[in-house]
Structure 1
Amino acid sequence: MSISTFFIPPVNMIGTGCLADAIKSMKDYGYHNALIVTDSVLNQIGVVGEVQNLLREAGIRSRIYDGTHPNPTTVNVSEGLAILQEHQCDCVISLGGGSPHDCAKGIALVASNGGDIRDYEGVDRSAKPQLPLIAINTTAGTASEMTRFCIITDVDRHIKMAIVDKHVTPILSVNDSGLMAGMPKGLTAATGMDALTHAIEAYVSIAANPITDACALKAVTMISQYLARAVAQGDDMEAREMMAYAQFLAGMAFNNASLGYVHAMAHQLGGFYDLPHGVCNAVLLPHVESFNAKACAPRLKDIAVAMGVDTKGMNDEQGAAACIAEIRKLSKTVGIPSGLVELNVKEEDLPVLATNALKDACGLTNPIQATHEEIVAIFKSAM
């Protein structure tokens, strides 16, 4: 086995009501002037105001950038950076799901390293740690609050840039499930399936190790048990809290084992058509794993077991097929669209999407490497 390096924020708070403790700890860090990076919805419904009040009580000033797009863009990073520089903020708070977290990472990275966010596309391209980032999560989800991954849409090239950099890891992640109770059904389903995708891709990754395996399998089990409950009953606080833990475990897995073709392909759909990331992952997941099964059937059988399937008497191939069937079943239960046609993806665009998917850093750790024709074929099967 090759050498493994494990990345995670130094401090991580999880549990209903932990937001107040997190703000107190920010005071202990000695921060005085925060830029809150969020979206307009969270600002309108008062969540941003609640955080600002807690900051005020702790003696911390704050400014707001609430222009984050659902697929955060190079323009969003520039706009937020301008506010940060104007008010000389000494830290950044991201508040929301993966979109504000990724946008905030981009802002904080450029704030300390200079240049343009495009300069940092790829792996570990920055020289210095970003401005301190405190990531307050409201979805369960992307795990962006605790990873070294930052996905930004380049508005000029219509592609999603994958920035994988140890310097974008937040210094504090906060998962207060009380902030997740109001998430609508569709967002709960999409972000939950995103977390499942993280766990499965990390488990079949060629960079998997015993630590990431343990995190991935536990995440799969918890998502299988609690996601449908969280979607059906948004105020089921046990389901919400368990999903917060599950998506964090999935984050620990993929932050260190990386991902695969589901993400490499989903990034292209999101960048090209501006589609929701979790939905793209959920639609692609069974099709990519059907392709991968010839290389990692025993691992897919393990995932079937983690999802609660009785695999006694099954060989590896049957176990892998049972895993893929169970993924489809969960997707259907939580109301994910059945194919890319429903998302208005066009078949004539598939060759260029496949070309770009093969350039995405996430594909490097897929259990087998695909040809351009094979990626097009997986896209077609998902239509």
Structure 2
Amino acid sequence: MEELDMPHNILMPRIMEVGGGALDRLPGVLAALGVQRPLIVTDRMMMELGYVDRAQGLLRDVGMVSDVFADTVPEPTERSITAGVEKMRQGLANGQGFDSVVAIGGGSPIDSAKAIGVLAHFGGEIRDYKFPHQADQSGLPLIAIPTTAGTGSECTRFTIITDDTVDEKMLCVGVGFMPTAAIVDYELSLSVPARVTADTGIDALTHAIEAYVSRKANGFSDQQALAAMRLIGPNLRIVYHEPDNRAAREAMMLGASLAGLAFSSASVALVHGMSRPIGAFFHVPHGLSNAMLLPAVTRYSIEAAQQRYATCARAIGAANAANSDAAAVRLLVRELLALNTELEVPGPAAYGISRDKWQAALDTMAEQALASGSPGNNPRVPDAGQIVALYETVWHQRM
């Protein structure tokens, strides 16, 4: 963990509207930012659920004009955002076009919107913004409206876009990717199915844990991470089994945003570094690949940060103050395995990945994980061989 008396760069949305019904405040948020002609970036499911029609209706009621790009895909790629970038550029070129971006959906539409806004405004290709490059200037105002309690992308300076040509998930970082405003309305998550609820919920839990144990952790990120864990720990199982439980949905949505603030400041670590290549090679949803990895990577990392992991165990309710740190970390690993079992998280084989393809990809996945920079934030920093061994552990691990 970094020294607490060092300065830390903290980025947050300028405006946050939080709570049930917050979507209704979209016109006021745009007005406060001095914009009125947004491009709404979303996906087909958000169109079918009526969320986009609702947002456009709110804007029409106050005389604001909007258009929609609804062709984002899960786990966005450079190819999948090209049409959105072109639509945004055409609007900017005519002088009376779009002056802002509104993202509605889970992490994939929000990540797509971030990339579309930056590329349309500043130009270049998304690989030009791959870490360690920093998008260090703000572009068009971006208003992020999450519909899942998971990625926290509405509160982060990151976006993840896959380079189609080499099957590599690129981590892109900088102030240009930080939303100007976030509208966090838990009611939008009530329609999320159980599988997505589980995967995005474990993603949020992973964000909080990794931010807290990260070598870049700081006093600000610690408080956000602990608050997130205290919200997510008791409620993740509830929302999985009781999708209409509004109090649990609200807690999860708030927890996910707090976890986003935490890891935007402290960065993620080894779980995310290893997760991205699994998604790129085998098209496993991001939260699900995190869930596959979390117990094994936690067990591997504990020896370098036992006290911090013990605090995580207590924050999520897996241990209490009476447990020693050594007992608490054992309970943490047990809880993470139990959570995967209860939420029916498949291992790689059960997901449908062939053993031969998994083994063939191990070395490249390890290289890509290290290149992302995230493993360097881990309490225990692995080399490529140790990452390969962890991938093998995950293959054999009973979920």
TM-score (norm 2): 0.92
1:265 aligns with 2:274: yes
- Match of 1:245? 254
Question: For 2:367, which of 351, 355, 371 is the aligned residue?
Answer: 355
Question: For 1:205, which of 192, 195, 214 is the aligned residue?
Answer: 214
- Match of 1:340? 348
Q: Secondary structure at the match of 2:66?
A: strand
Q: What is the CA–CA distance in structure 2 between the aligned matches of 1:329 and 1:268, rounded to whole Å?
A: 25
- Match of 1:189? 198
* Cα deviation digits, residues 172-191 of structure 1 (max 9, x gap): 00111111111101111100
**2:145, 2:154 within 8 Å by CA — same for their partners in 1?**
yes
Question: For 1:150, which of 147, 153, 159 is the aligned residue?
Answer: 159
**2:190, 2:243 within 8 Å by CA — same for their partners in 1?**
yes
**1:139, 1:191 within 8 Å by CA — same for their partners in 2?**
yes
Question: For 1:15, which of 7, 15, 19 is the aligned residue?
Answer: 19
Q: What is the CA–CA distance in structure 1 between the aligned matches of 2:86 and 2:379, rounded to whole Å?
A: 42
1:81 aligns with 2:92: no
- Within 5 Å, give how 1:308-327 maps onto structure 2: 308-311=317-320, 314-327=323-336
**1:229, 1:236 within 8 Å by CA — same for their partners in 2?**
yes
Question: For 2:302, which of 280, 285, 293 is the aligned residue?
Answer: 293
CA deviation after TM superposition for structure 1 residue 306, in Å: 1.1
- Match of 1:53? 57
Cα gap change, 1:283/1:29 in structure 2, threshold over 3 Å: closer, same or farther? same
| Equivalent pairs, count | 382
1:131 aligns with 2:143: no
* Cα deviation digits, residues 320-363 of structure 1 (max 9, x gap): 221111111222222222x2222234222212111111111222
**1:139, 1:180 within 8 Å by CA — same for their partners in 2?**
yes
* Cα deviation digits, residues 164-218 of structure 1 (max 9, x gap): 1122111100111111111101111100000000000011101111221121122
- Match of 1:27? 31
- Match of 1:276? 285
**1:219, 1:246 within 8 Å by CA — same for their partners in 2?**
yes
**1:293, 1:317 within 8 Å by CA — same for their partners in 2?**
no
1:343 partner letter: Y
Q: Secondary structure at the match of 2:371?
A: coil
**1:198, 1:251 within 8 Å by CA — same for their partners in 2?**
yes
Q: What is the CA–CA distance in structure 1 between the aligned matches of 2:287 and 2:266, rounded to whole Å?
A: 19
- Match of 1:368? 380
* Cα deviation digits, residues 256-297 of structure 1 (max 9, x gap): 010111000111111111110000001101111111011011
* Cα deviation digits, residues 306-331 of structure 1 (max 9, x gap): 12234556543332221111111222
1:68 partner letter: T
1:377 aligns with 2:389: yes
Unaligned runs of 5+ in 2: 92-96
* Cα deviation digits, residues 79-100 of structure 1 (max 9, x gap): 1011112233111110001001
- Match of 2:94? none
C-alpha RMSD over aligned residues: 1.4
**1:132, 1:170 within 8 Å by CA — same for their partners in 2?**
yes
Cα gap change, 1:69/1:317 in structure 2, threshold over 3 Å: closer, same or farther? same
1:159 partner letter: E
- Match of 2:72? 68
Cα gap change, 1:215/1:125 in structure 2, threshold over 3 Å: closer, same or farther? closer
CA deviation after TM superposition for structure 1 residue 23, in Å: 2.3
Q: What is the CA–CA distance in structure 1 between the aligned matches of 2:288 and 2:99, rounded to whole Å?
A: 35
Q: Secondary structure at the match of 2:89?
A: helix
